[in-house]
Structure 1
Amino acid sequence: MKYRAVIFDLYGTLVDELRYPHRQEVKYQRWVSDTAAALELPVDDFRRVWADTSRQREEGEIRTRKAILAFLCDTLDVDVSDEQLNRAAAIALEYIRRALKPRNGVVETLARLHDEGIKTGLISNCLAETSDLWSSTPFPSLLDASILSCEVGMMKPNPGIYRLACERLGVEPSDCLFIGDGGSGELTGATSVGMDAVLIRAPGDTENGDREDWQGIRISSVEEILSLVE
């Protein structure tokens, strides 16, 4: 067997991306507008500060939904009530809840990998909402290790987050195949520690991250992984 483990990205790989394709972009913009309205913030200001604080949020420096939103308001020097923060936090949680639905074929593919004796893991750059909702999704029972950036204080493409996944799976990087949509330089991050990597680009997905210049294997659905590990 060529690989002892397959490690997946989350958004854009096991579930739809949060912002693309178009249907997700519409949902994202609605979330931005609704959250900004709940906090009585100008949409453009909210969007700008949200983007500027991605590292603090995704590495768990600011841990809870409410604390993240309070920090954004403080950054903009805007006073908000506890009720407003609670309302905005609830909007954020619901947005992520709706996003955490497996793509077609994902559950079956993960189960098949287990049947083949191949371990499965996940590395995701994500926010507190994903961590809070994780146990309510189908994924924990289908994955042998789930590494969420907001819980471990590291983000892809930091080599440490890939090594941590290997440690929890009990494998070496050379034993692993990493599958991702190319965001955050995750594919080059995986290969830098000795993993093989594959780009997944579903129909309608847009170019970003490693995608534009990726010279390695490309697939268009999760099911195609099975032919790569046989």
Structure 2
Amino acid sequence: MDNVEAIIFDLGGTLIDYEGFPHYWGDYYQEALRTVSDKLFLDLTEEQINVAAETLKKYNPRLYPREIEYTPRFIFTDVFNGWRIAENRIDAAIRVFFEFFQQNLIVYPETEKVMNALKANGYKIGILTDVPTGMPTELIIQDISLFEDKVDYFLSSVDCGFRKPNKKGIEIITQSFGVRTQNIAFVGNEIKDIEAAKNAGAISILINRVGEVKNYGEDFQISNLIEIIGLLRLNE
């Protein structure tokens, strides 16, 4: 790892988590959509909510894998089809939907310490995240407010146009940093993160917080972000 000049992190499951929710949020769509109906006084029927939830599931890449990303407006215009909702309230409805999940946000205890150590030792820091289905960048970036000042480049799949394992996001951040991909380490918790790193020619680090046996062909495996300090032999 002596040649590493910059670190790119995945977000959910790596730096933060939405406590109580699994990777797949589809089972909670109805409840989140009911919250939208209640807070925006839409008076939706259960049938309308169920139809909307099933429509949103069609775009969920955990059910239907894809690398091409869709904009939140594109997805939710379809999801809200048939609702009597004014055009100027669609963004508010999207925000309320995702606030249902964001209320359970946690930042892993070691995240800020590792960010501080990397910055103190001169490393560039990037974040590349595949947004939850239909989530706008301006909402998900709120979830890094505690350490946003340490991040040199934040890129969502919405702004990139592609989801991992596509390598485009890593390439965009790498070019912005002015370093070669072989001098980039990418840290993530899923197989698509490791595949994206390998597709780009970057060093891959799997963070395995659950203790299960995993082998995705990664270059390194850690159980806690603190181990990055040891891998890079940093001064804390």
Shared fold, TM over 0.5: yes
Query: Is 2:195 the partner of 1:188?
Result: yes
Aligned AA (2:181): P
* CA separation of 1:171 and 1:40: change in aligned 2, threshold 3 A: farther
Q: Note if 1:50 corresponds to 2:56.
A: yes
DSSP 3-state at the match of 1:138: coil
In 1, distance between residues paired with 2:216 and 2:69?
29
Offset at 1:28? 4.5
Counterpart residue type for residue 203 of structure 2: D
**Aligned 1:64-79 pairs, distance under 5 A:** 64=73, 68-74=75-81, 78-79=82-83
Equivalent AA in structure 2 for residue 228 of structure 1:
L
For the aligned residues, what is the CA RMSD?
3.3
Distance in 2 separating the partners of 1:27 and 1:155: 16
2:126 corresponds to which residue? 121
CA distance in 2, matches of 1:118, 1:86: 36
Where is the helix percentage greater, Structure 1 or Structure 2? 1
Match of 1:170 in 2: 178
Aligned-partner Cα distance in 2 for 1:174–1:92: 39
Q: Could you say what secondary structure the match of 1:155 adopts? A: coil
Residue pairs, 1:128-167, within 5 angstroms: 128-134=135-141, 137-167=145-175
In the alignment, structure 1 segments of 5+ residues that lack a partner are none
Number of aligned pairs? 215
Change (3 A) 1:86 1:168: closer
Deviates most, 154-163 or 117-126: 154-163
More deviation, 147-156/130-139 = 130-139
Query: Residues 115, 186 of structure 1: CA spacing in aligned structure 2 closer, same or farther, 3 A cutoff?
Result: same
Distance 2:167 2:25 in 1: 29
**What is the Cα deviation at residue 144 of structure 1?**
1.1
Structure 2 portions without partners, runs of 5+: 38-43
Q: Structure 1 residues 14 and 188 mapped into 2: Cα distance closer, same or farther (>3 Å)?
A: same
Local SS of the residue matching 1:89:
helix
Structure 1 length normalisation: TM-score? Answer: 0.77
- Deviation at residue 213 of structure 1 after TM alignment: 4.1
Task: Identify the residue that residue 228 of structure 2 maps to in structure 1.
Answer: 225
Query: Shift in Å at residue 30 of structure 1?
Result: 7.8
CA contact 1:120–1:145 (8 Å) conserved in 2:
yes
Distance in 1 (CA, whole Å) between partners of 2:21 and 2:142 is 23
3-state DSSP class of the match of 1:6?
strand
Counterpart mapping for 1:17-56 below 5 A:
18=18, 23-25=20-22, 28=25, 31-37=28-34, 38=37, 39-42=44-47, 45-54=51-60
Q: Conserved in 1, the CA contact under 8 Å of 2:30 and 2:50?
A: no
Preserved contact between residue 174 and residue 181 of structure 2 (Cα < 8 Å): yes
Q: Against the structure 1 CA distance between its residues 144 and 68, is the aligned structure 2 distance closer, same or farther, given a 3 Å change threshold? A: same
